[in-house]
Structure 1
């Protein structure tokens, strides 16, 4: 059997396996519905916010020293000075990207909790109103 044939067979087997798992509830779960635990969601949002805050300071603590070292190396004619400058620039870019992702996670979870609470209140009010209407008739 050639590599291409073996690879195609492995892909087919894997796709069938994934499809079967996606179409079934996990054993022993009883097919439970997704449950929103506000304490857990809130804790994850808090951790994401704390990570975002720490990245703003801890992610940049070596920037000045790195820039100084890159300048000194470049001044002495070492190519590693320019490489260190590029490295520092890339590092800062990655820290900003990670910080933005943490902020997005935190804000998204806060929004989800807030909108869930509002929806719960709206449903409760509608249910209460419909029960009152039922009793008044």
Structure 2
């Protein structure tokens, strides 16, 4: 970029800034002054977890049912596959393959159920902790902000706590 081009860009930016009446305002609402509403008036970082809790509970229940009912057939299938293979039937190897795949898929499904259930529990705890932290931070900001709004006297008067200023003497 040439120097002249840089200077032109700076001049254009300055012109846009001076011609524009909108500026960013921090800690201000559209109505003007600083916000001193308590954090509850801002809304809250809240997770409505009724549906999430139900999903987590259903995932946990499914995990338990899979543990109790779906694993039962693996041992008997493995036994039958071994017995058929010993007797010289090719069906034994096929049944063993199906049993192995069933066990792999069952473990994958049970892992997914456990992760869903755990995620729902952990998410609620994390969001509850975040909500408390944010509320404490917003509360302390509101308290600090209100301290700046308190006046000792009328506007324009000198604060009496600093005492009277003495006149300087020239020597």
TM-score interval, smaller chain: 0.5 to 0.7
Alignment partners' CA distance in 1, 2:121 and 2:98: 34
Aligned equivalent of 1:94 = 105
Deviation at 1:105, TM superposition (A): 1.3
Alignment partners' CA distance in 1, 2:96 and 2:68: 19
Deviation at 1:92, TM superposition (A): 0.5
Q: TM-score, normalised by structure 2?
A: 0.55
Aligned equivalent of 2:76 = 65
Alignment partners' CA distance in 1, 2:122 and 2:103: 28
Alignment of 1:1-137 (within 5 A): 36-137=47-148
Q: Deviations over 1:53-77 (max 9, x none)?
A: 2222212111122122112211221
SS in 2 for 1:62: helix
Query: Which runs of 5 or more structure 1 residues have no equivalent in the other structure?
Result: 1-34
Q: How many residues align?
A: 103
SS in 1 for 2:71: coil
Runs of 4+ in 1 over 2 A off after TM superposition: 134-137
Q: TM-score, normalised by structure 1?
A: 0.68
